[in-house]
Amino acid sequence: MQHLRIISPVDRTDAVCEALSGHCGVTNLVVFPNSARKPAGDLVQCDVARESVNEVLDELDALGIDDDGSIAMERVDLSISLAADNAKDAAPGDGEDAVVWDELAQKVDESSRLTWSFVAFLAIATQIAAIGVLLDSPIMIVGAMVLGPEFGPVAAIGFGMLRREWWRIGVSVRTLVFGFAAAIAVTWLCAFVSVHLGWIEPVMLDTGSETKFIVKPDKWSFIVAVLAGIAGVLSLTSDKSSALVGVFISVTTVPAAGYIAVAIALAHWAEVTPSIIQLGLNLGGMIVSGLATLIVLRLLWGRAGLRERIGT
């Protein structure tokens, strides 16, 4: 169940309550007249089965509540109520699989912004990956994959394509380009200094065998990226964020960026291009599969919403 807290202008509260009461997935409807001060209005609260949230939010938006009032939603971790159980049973679909599109939009917006923390995490992850490449350490490579924050902008690009929101795509592409450019530059600088300090030598890239897969892009790289993109989008939409860890350690975006940096610093030019191709294959595969997954989910939940409206 999801808990909705709505601040409604007084003249629209009856319409809000009527809209909420008309949904089989809504229960525990409570109204506190004239209790809101900023913005002023009535406070309306209710619990909504997750699979009914999209329909409810659409009707509230149609009433202009998002412009003149406020809508907040939070997850209900525990609900002991026969009425809530009946609402979940009556709502079409399964709450575990339900996609709340406004929630997804907020998630991808927050994770796709170009912030100092995004750049810092990506730079740190790229440096760890570079050290893992130099030491031929798969464990460090995996650690760098987990730390990398790049899936957020990738998911936002697919979401922007779905909704034809070109501004969202532009913001996400800028975040990825600037983020990876900054991360590679910082890692190259550290590697360049380390070379002159005698800490690393060109031969260190020649002796690695466990991490050579990074510079061997092939069909399997693309297939893994496609599968990771599907799993990543499903984890975002189904609110199972723990599955994202599996996505992070499935693709070699960050390791490829780290390999690019150290290869340039050590003048291994022949391995720069394959690393760039690997990076592009992974990003492209995740974007394509993420978009396809969102299209399928929209079709599925569009039908679920139709079943709710016709009451079947």
Range from 91-95, 219-223, 297-301 that averages highest in pLDDT: 219-223
What does the pLDDT average to over 31-43? 93
Q: What is the pLDDT of residues 223-255, one digit of tens each?
A: 888 988 888 888 888 755 555 555 565 577 898
Helix axes 166-197, 116-134, angle to 10 degrees: 40
Q: Which CATH number fits domain 2-91: 3.90.79.10, 3.30.9.10, 3.30.70.120, 3.30.590.10?
A: 3.30.70.120
Q: In whole angstroms, give the CA distance from residue 31 to residue 13.
A: 9
Q: In whole angstroms, give the CA distance from residue 114 to residue 90.
A: 42
User: Domain map of the chain by residue range?
Assistant: 2-91, 102-300
Q: Are 83 and 41 in contact (CB under 8 A)?
A: no
Alpha helices (H) in 101-165, listed in sequence order: 101-112, 116-134, 138-147, 151-163
Q: Are 114 and 178 in contact (CB under 8 A)?
A: yes
Q: Are 56 and 2 in contact (CB under 8 A)?
A: no
The pLDDT, as a whole number, for residue 239 is 58
Instruction: Say which amino acid occupies 8.
Output: S
Distances (CA, A) of 89 to 18, 123, 202, 284: 21, 47, 64, 39
Instruction: Say which amino acid occupies 135.
Output: L
Instruction: Indicate the pLDDT class of residue 310, thresholds 50, 70 and 90.
Output: very low
Q: What is the pLDDT of residues 268-290, one digit of tens each?
A: 888 899 999 999 999 999 999 99
Q: In whole angstroms, give the CA distance from residue 268 to residue 74.
A: 51
Which three-class secondary structure state does DSSP give residue 65? Answer: helix
Q: What is the pLDDT of residues 128-165, one digit of tens each?
A: 999 998 888 888 888 888 888 888 899 999 999 999 99
